[in-house]
């Protein structure tokens, strides 16, 4: 599973950081989402999917590669 | 443009069932049972779409074909006479991107999760001092006046740079702004008085800056004093009335479910309990207005360009399929161990509550501390009907007499 972010859609709600702080963070200067990890552990998949679902701006995209269902 | 309703359409905003501040007004629940998108009437005689289903509410709030710009002539207005007032001085809550994003991004830095996490010791101190003062004054006490209102007021004052000594002024004016019964002239005066007050404070901070939001805004060269005052007003009103009402209503609900209140003693259970309280109480009970910019098919219904839509958060948050676990409690009951994280109590889309990390921190600390420090906390008049404010856009209590 892969996760990507689109900062243009980020509205800095902090939902992702609240849901999975190990994977997402907010930049100190502009408040926009940053990825802390590029390779996810399988144990994080469910929470990252939830963060993507909860993102109010639709800034987080999860791509399933068929190995982490 | 307008279609004739085939069934009696609910009139928005509908009143709560007497004495039951926890449930959405029955008119919304009935509409939700009939369909996820139904016709509804507004008090000014116009009609709009009432959107009650969870997926449809999320679509309305996140799809850019629906506008939050209150200056559009077709924008649905819940209280007659407010259109000009809202349109004359829109905060970023009532603007679309890019204007919305420009103004919102001026203050996002102050509500980052890590900034709020760093504020937790300060919030804990404010909360502890409020409990100390309430305990010193003695049982019984009005929890609203002694605790629920002072805590968020103190926090937003510190953050914004507003003197807490002026609380009577801004608390009274905020009440007028969210009142459904105040007339246009009263609301206009209250809005202007609060804008003048905040503009005056901001101007002073140009010369004597503090470590606060108004000082940071006034130091920028790309913002007018009017934009600063509008943003300050939004943060001040949204920052204390909502959290205050959540603290009071949550306390009432937890006192009626003592076995669930006991779960707050486990720090690991507190964040989830707060999400559940946010979900079930959904205090923005009148819903969020939008206007369609294009024809949109929503829940099998065609919404035409120019038609108004009200997204009802409270009914979306009671979606049985989403919130009821197998064998679990129904979605219209409190279950502090439920996974309620998908709730839309803070809205959805680019306008989703900016202050939600702060609201969560305040609620977690205020509720856990109250039940820990006053273990004998109980309702002073357990059989009395809750003193619900009947005339407010945000569900709240006038008072909550408690004893310990």
Task: For B285-329, write each residue's pLDDT tens digit.
Answer: 889 999 999 999 999 999 999 999 999 999 999 999 999 999 999
Calculate how close chain B gets to A39, using CA atoms only, in Å: 23
Q: Examine residue B67 and state whether it is found in any structural domain, yes or no.
A: yes
pLDDT tier, B3 (very low <50, low <70, confident <90, very high otherwise): very low
- Cβ–Cβ below 8 Å for A13 and B101: no
State the residue for tokens 């002026």.
B166
Q: Closest-CA residue in chain B for A21?
A: B113
Q: Is the ipTM of this complex over 0.90?
A: yes
Looking at residue B386, the DSSP 8-state letter turns out to be P
Q: Give the dihedral sign, CA B204/B210/B216/B219.
A: positive
Rounded to whole angstroms, how far apart are CA atoms B379 and B377? 7
B207 and chain A in contact, CB less than 8 A: no
Q: Is residue B1 a part of any domain in this protein?
A: no
Judging contacts by C-beta atoms under 8 Å, the chain B residues touching residue A53 are 342
Q: Does the distance separating the beta carbons of A13 and B346 come in below 8 Å? A: yes
Note whether residue B359 is domain-resident: yes
Q: Which residues contact B327 (CB under 8 A, 6 or more apart)?
A: none
Residue B367 lies in a domain: yes
pLDDT digits (tens, 9 = 90+) for B334-382: 999 999 999 999 999 999 999 999 999 999 999 999 999 999 999 999 9
Q: Tell me whether residue B2 is in a domain.
A: no
User: Which has the closest alpha carbon to B41: B23, B20, B26, B27?
Assistant: B27
B373 located within any domain: yes
For residue A18, the model assigns a pLDDT of: 95
Provide the domain count of chain B. 1
CA distances from B111 to A14, A45, A62, B102 (A): 8, 27, 26, 16
User: How many CB atoms lie under 10 A from the CB of residue B89?
Assistant: 18
| Domain span including residue B166 | 11-403
Instruction: Assign B137 a pLDDT band (cuts: 50, 70, 90).
Output: very high
Domain for residue B213, yes or no? yes
pLDDT digits (tens, 9 = 90+) for B380-400: 999 998 998 888 888 899 999
Nearest residue in A to B358, CA atom:
A14
Contacts of A14 in chain B (CB under 8 A): 111-113, 116, 356-357
Render the burial of B122-138: b for 16+ CB within 10 Å, e for the rest.
ebeebbeebbeebeeee
CA closest to B101 among chain A residues: A11
Does residue B6 fall inside a structural domain? no
Q: Does B167 touch chain A (CB under 8 A)?
A: no
Question: Cβ–Cβ of B341/A50 closer than 8 Å?
Answer: yes
What's the CATH code of the domain at B327? 1.10.630.10
B104–A14: do the CB atoms touch at under 8 Å? Answer: no
């Amino acid at each position: 599973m892969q996760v990507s972010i689109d900062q243009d859609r980020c509205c800095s709600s902090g939902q992702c950081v609240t849901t999975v702080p190990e994977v997402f963070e907010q930049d100190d200067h502009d408040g926009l989402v940053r990825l802390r990890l590029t390779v996810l552990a399988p144990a994080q998949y469910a929470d990252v999917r939830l963060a993507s679902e909860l993102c109010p701006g639709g800034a987080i995209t999860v791509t399933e590669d068929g190995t982490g269902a | 443009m307008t279609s004739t309703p085939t069934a009696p359409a609910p009139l928005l905003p509908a009143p709560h069932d007497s004495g039951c501040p926890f449930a959405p007004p029955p008119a919304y629940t009935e509409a939700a049972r009939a369909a996820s998108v139904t016709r509804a009437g507004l008090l000014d005689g116009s009609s709009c779409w009432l959107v009650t289903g969870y997926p449809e509410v999320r679509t309305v709030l996140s799809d850019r074909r629906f506008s939050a710009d209150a200056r559009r002539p077709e924008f649905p207005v819940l209280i007659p006479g407010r259109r000009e007032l809202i349109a004359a001085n829109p905060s970023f809550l009532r603007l679309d991107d890019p204007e919305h994003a420009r103004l919102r991004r001026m203050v996002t830095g102050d509500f980052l999760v890590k900034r709020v996490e760093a504020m937790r010791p300060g919030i804990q101190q404010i909360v502890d001092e409020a409990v100390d003062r309430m305990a010193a004054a003695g049982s019984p006490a009005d929890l609203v006046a002694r605790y629920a209102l002072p805590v968020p007021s103190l926090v937003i004052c510190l953050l914004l740079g507003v003197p807490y000594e002026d609380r009577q002024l801004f608390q009274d004016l905020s009440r007028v702004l969210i009142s459904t019964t105040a007339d246009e002239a009263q609301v206009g005066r209250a809005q202007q008085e609060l804008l003048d007050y905040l503009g005056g404070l901001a101007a002073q901070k140009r010369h004597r800056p503090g470590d606060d939001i108004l000082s940071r805004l006034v130091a920028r060269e790309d913002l007018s004093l009017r934009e600063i005052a509008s943003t300050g007003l939004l943060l001040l009103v949204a920052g204390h009335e909502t959290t205050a009402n959540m603290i009071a209503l949550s306390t009432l609900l937890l006192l009626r479910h003592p076995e669930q209140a006991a779960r707050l003693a486990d720090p690991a259970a507190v964040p989830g309990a707060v999400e559940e309280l946010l979900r079930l109480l959904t205090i923005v009970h009148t819903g969020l207005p939008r206007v369609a910019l294009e024809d949109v098919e929503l829940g099998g219904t065609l919404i035409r360009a120019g038609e108004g839509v009200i997204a009802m958060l409270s009914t979306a948050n009671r979606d049985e399929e989403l919130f009821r676990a197998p064998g679990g409690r129904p979605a219209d009951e409190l279950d502090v161990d439920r996974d309620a994280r998908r709730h839309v109590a803070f809205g959805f889309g680019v306008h989703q509550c900016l202050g939600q990390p702060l609201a969560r921190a305040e609620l977690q600390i205020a509720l856990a501390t109250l039940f820990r420090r006053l273990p004998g906390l109980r309702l002073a008049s357990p059989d009395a009907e809750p003193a619900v404010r009947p005339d407010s856009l945000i569900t709240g209590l006038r008072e909550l007499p408690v004893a310990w």
